[in-house]
Structure 1
Amino acid sequence: LMAGLLDIVPPQARANFLAAPGFETQLAQLLNAGALANGWLITGGEGAGKATLAYRLARALLWRQRPLDAETLDVPESAPEFALVASGGHPDLFVAARRFDDKKERYATEITVETIRELNQFLSYTASMGGWRVAIIDSAEDLNRNSANALLKVLEEPPARAALFVLSSAPGRLPATVRSRCRRIDLRPLPNETIAVFLESEGVVEGGDARKLASVAGGRPGFALALALGDGAAAIDAVGDFWAAAAKDGDVGIVASRLAAKEEEGAFALFRTLLNARLAAEAKSLAVRGHPKASAFVDLHERLNALFRRAEAVNLDRYQILLAAGRAFGAAIK
């Protein structure tokens, strides 16, 4: 879980969902027609609302009193199914995610094959409450090769009245066999003004501050909330300072020292996401213009992604990781 999201209503307990007009109506019609069975791949950037949508779909499927002609996925907060999903206690919902390791006092780096086998066993049972069985894989990027292969077997032969929602921020990195077994729901970026209004409605920021955060959130409501409730301002400044220093001479020592401080863990997590988004946008802009540096920025984007993922997996020193990122940045733009 991204630092800064801790004070936000978690996806499983959030009643509202921000989406483009007409988006949810189409999903409600599929549900009404009984066409939500089998595997679904829900894609979008970090904080786009993938988990919120998955839990929203799960609640709608599991709500036994849902009208057959409902036009939305809304489930009353007073419904037993809403409380059961929010608490993680619904017997017909299985969530495959990285498990917390009590001994190491941190989350595992992967979703293990054992977890997917538990999912397969769960789907073999009759629904406890007489309806659907729903599984959420959060997220596909955390699957290792064995667990991905085990998931593929589930997707190839899904049982009746079972729905699997696979969440992914980078669907292009998933095995083609997994992608081909799933229907797809893409959460596209929302307009900045929509994000700003959303932030104000959540009561976290107002006016100019809401617009500033919306402008760097990439159209992702969850990420915008993380910026507003976490260390968004510090992370935004850090990305600007890192970019300027790395582009000048690759020496990002001052920024690295700032973000390496223990109390800046939240800002560092947000910094990573913002830097990743800015690099992706720069690579796309250069490619559109046919600039010779376009491929260098694509490679840099991938390299820094891998660097940060490896650092998280083995808990490397943030200061050294940022210095390495600065050197890679400086070399890429020469």
Structure 2
Amino acid sequence: MSMGFSPWQQRAFERALASLDSGRLGHGLLVCGPAKLGKRALVDAIVARLLCQDASGAQPACGHCRACKLQQAGTHADAYRISFALNDKGEPRNVIVVEQIRDLGQKISLTAQLGGAIVSVIDPAEALNANAANALLKTLEEPQDGRYLILVSDTPYRLPATIRSRCQRIELRPPPLEEARAWLAGQGIDGSRIDEALALADGHPGAALALIEAQGLQLRRAVEKDLDALAQNRIALSETVKAWLDDRPAERLAHAAACVRDRGRLALLALLAQGSGEAFAELADWYDQANRVRAQLDTPLRSDLLLGELLLRWREVAAA
């Protein structure tokens, strides 16, 4: 069964299969790493292999047996996925609550309906609230044969240490630069854009691809141009605030923060050369403020006032 994996996904999958073949695959798995590296496709392949009725040893799922067909259709009776449930108003919660974990515990205590494994996925695992995490811990502390619990997380450090310590970690990390370049070229990306995108994405190929596909390179250049224009008083503050709020404000703020982070690195070099850290400290403070404003865009606070204050502060920092 072909998964179309990237090299880093394939390596992680093969390690998981080797652990399964040797009897060392944990009942609790923590699949983690930065967003856009393919964790969820990797989890789908692991789930399919655990449920497959025909594969053995270090083989991937066959893709043809009844269990595989049911899994592909999303109707396998022994596969469970826990994410954001609806609240009393019919709106998605922003946390995973204890009732969901207790319900899962009851389901996995029953006999598997297809006679094989029972596999549960919690995604995103960092969304577990305190009571849900405590309930999950009890399940992890009492593993049952043929039961697998897979936690998926972009930010595993937000999980309680007691949960992390009871899970076998399968981590995806950005690959070496040459491998990232080769993979992006294999996606049909023009070579002239690959290095620029990888530089902006700190070598992360998935983030680089997302930048290119969403015209993020053009947006980054536009944001940098606006920051320079604000610093030199060549553009009105109100005009910039309106333009940013009208078109992908969260992405623009992310690019602005990244741009200032990069300038902060240059300021740090200047600090080492001149013995003054004031410029670096100012840029670092603005970087933190930009990320706070980005997180507040979807709150009841006035976005225009937040963004206006942030960009006014940028003008002061840049002038200094």
**Equivalent residue runs for 1:33-48 within 5 Å:** 33-48=22-37
State the Cα deviation string for residues 197-228 of structure 1 (Å, max 9, x = none).
3344344x333234433333344444334333
**Equivalent residue runs for 1:15-34 within 5 Å:** 15-20=3-8, 22-34=11-23
Instruction: Name the CA shift for 1:131/1:328 in 2 (closer, same or farther; >3 Å).
Output: farther
Contact 2:54 2:62 in 1 (8 A): no
SS in 2 for 1:35: coil
State the Cα deviation string for residues 257-291 of structure 1 (Å, max 9, x = none).
33322xx3xx4454465566667777889889988
Q: Which amino acid aligns with 1:16?
A: G
TM-score by length of 1: 0.72
Instruction: Name the CA shift for 1:165/1:256 in 2 (closer, same or farther; >3 Å).
Output: farther
Between Structure 1 and Structure 2, how many residues are aligned?
310
Which residue of 56, 59, 68 corresponds with 2:45? 56
Task: Give the corresponding residue for 2:163.
Answer: 178
State the Cα deviation string for residues 84-133 of structure 1 (Å, max 9, x = none).
444432222222222367966x6432222232223222322222222222
Task: Give the corresponding residue for 1:97.
Answer: 83
Q: CA offset at residue 31 of structure 1?
A: 1.4
Residue segments in structure 2 that go unaligned for 5+ positions in a row: none
SS in 2 for 1:110: coil
| Residue 65 (1) aligns with residue 50 (2) | no
Contact 1:38 1:162 in 2 (8 A): yes
Q: CA offset at residue 22 of structure 1?
A: 4.3
Q: Which amino acid aligns with 1:64?
A: Q
Contact 1:238 1:255 in 2 (8 A): no
**Equivalent residue runs for 1:38-187 within 5 Å:** 38-70=27-59, 74-78=60-64, 80-99=66-85, 107-187=92-172
Instruction: Name the CA shift for 1:124/1:253 in 2 (closer, same or farther; >3 Å).
Output: farther
Instruction: Name the CA shift for 1:77/1:299 in 2 (closer, same or farther; >3 Å).
Output: farther
State the Cα deviation string for residues 124-172 of structure 1 (Å, max 9, x = none).
2222222222222221332222322232232222332222222222222
State the Cα deviation string for residues 27-57 of structure 1 (Å, max 9, x = none).
2210112322322222211212222222221
- Answer with 1 or 2: which has the greater Rg: 2
For 1:327 and 1:62, how far apart are their aligned partners in 2?
Answer: 56
Residue segments in structure 1 that go unaligned for 5+ positions in a row: 1-13
Q: CA offset at residue 80 of structure 1?
A: 4.8
Contact 2:53 2:66 in 1 (8 A): no
Contact 1:139 1:167 in 2 (8 A): yes
For 1:215 and 1:286, how far apart are their aligned partners in 2?
Answer: 18
Task: Give the corresponding residue for 1:215.
Answer: 199
Q: Percent identity?
A: 29
**Equivalent residue runs for 1:254-333 within 5 Å:** 254-261=239-246, 264=247, 267-271=248-252, 292=277, 305=291, 307-312=293-298, 314=299, 318-323=303-308, 325-326=310-311
Q: Which amino acid aligns with 1:138?
A: D
SS in 1 for 2:15: helix
Aligned-residue Cα RMSD (Å) equals: 4.0
Instruction: Name the CA shift for 1:318/1:128 in 2 (closer, same or farther; >3 Å).
Output: farther
| Residue 189 (1) aligns with residue 177 (2) | no
Q: CA offset at residue 236 of structure 1?
A: 2.4
TM-score by length of 2: 0.75
For 1:87 and 1:252, how far apart are their aligned partners in 2?
Answer: 52
